[in-house]
Amino acid sequence: MGFRRFLVCVLPLLVGAAQAQDDRKVVSPDGRLEFRLFTTLPAGAQLNSLAYQVRLGGKLLIDTSCMGLDIHFQEPLLGENVGLSVSKTLQGDGYNGLFADYLQNSTTGRRIDLEVRVYNDGVAFRYVLPKQFPLLDLLIEDEVTEFRFAYRADRPAQSSLPYTEQTADGGWLGIFESRPAGFPPMALVRNETNFMSTHLPDKPGDPGVAYVGVTPWTGPWRIVAIASSREGLANAEAARSLQ
């Protein structure tokens, strides 16, 4: 199940992590927001993990956070033991972007892609799975996306979306999603070290499976918006243009 795999992924990060590899950065058009995508080997772990950071004005907003998908009856997590195959920069209306393709270094040869957009008022990313033999039938147990905020705040044990909180500098941060039809709604669950991670509910009558589909598959946007007020979060271009 996703919660068990989540603990395997994140507990070593409490000790520290090895130097990042395959580092890619995307900066907002105004230069204030930066999204960094990389792989890292958490201290004490045997497999690396796909991860990201977000900086605002040069300061960490979201610290190193694991990313990936828990695929039913497949090991390891899709997002662990990966290497960057190819990446390309993107540019669109109001954002700079990145598309990165990762190959899992194992006998299965699974692939996972990340599409990233960085606006002046937020970042967005989503998982993209190309058509591939090991995932022709796609059964997702859970999503393992962390939001390890670089500041302390009182957070609920669990929250539906949108999720909002005040940042250390008095601004506001919101987490939103743009969900394709048929995909379960994401919830956020607080870890004991006070950061949040994604959780997908099981399908009714199908314990241990949140989503059944096929590849190619494009997942929902995970959106982190910033604003000077809570009310302003919904009007952030990062959230408004993708919902």
Q: Domain holding 236: CATH number?
A: 2.70.98.10
Q: What is the pLDDT of residue 109?
A: 85
How much is the pLDDT for 14?
A: 42
Predicted local distance difference test score (pLDDT) of residue 106: 73
Q: How far is CA 146 from the centre of its chain?
A: 6
Instruction: Mention every residue, 6+ apart, whose C-beta is less than 8 A from residue 114.
Output: 37, 50, 67, 98, 99, 100, 102, 125, 126, 127, 128
> pLDDT at position 17, please?
46
Please list the ranges in the chain whose pLDDT falls under 70: 1-20, 107
The pLDDT score that the predictor gives to residue 63 is: 96
Question: pLDDT at position 150, please?
Answer: 95
Phi, psi of 11, rounded to the nearest 5 degrees: -60, -40
Note the pTM of the prediction, 2 decimals.
0.91
Amino acid identity at 227: A
Give the total number of structural domains in the chain.
Answer: 1
pLDDT at 124: 98
End-to-end CA distance of the chain: 29
Q: d(Cα 96, Cα 93) in Å, to the nearest integer?
A: 8
> How many helices (H) does the chain have, and how many strands (E)?
3, 19
pLDDT tens-digit readout, 184-217: 999 999 998 889 999 999 999 888 999 999 999 9
Domain range for residue 211?
2-240
CA 22 to chain centre: 17
Taking a C-beta distance cutoff of 8 angstroms, is the pair 147, 191 a contact? Answer: no
Contact 152, 181 (CB under 8 A): no
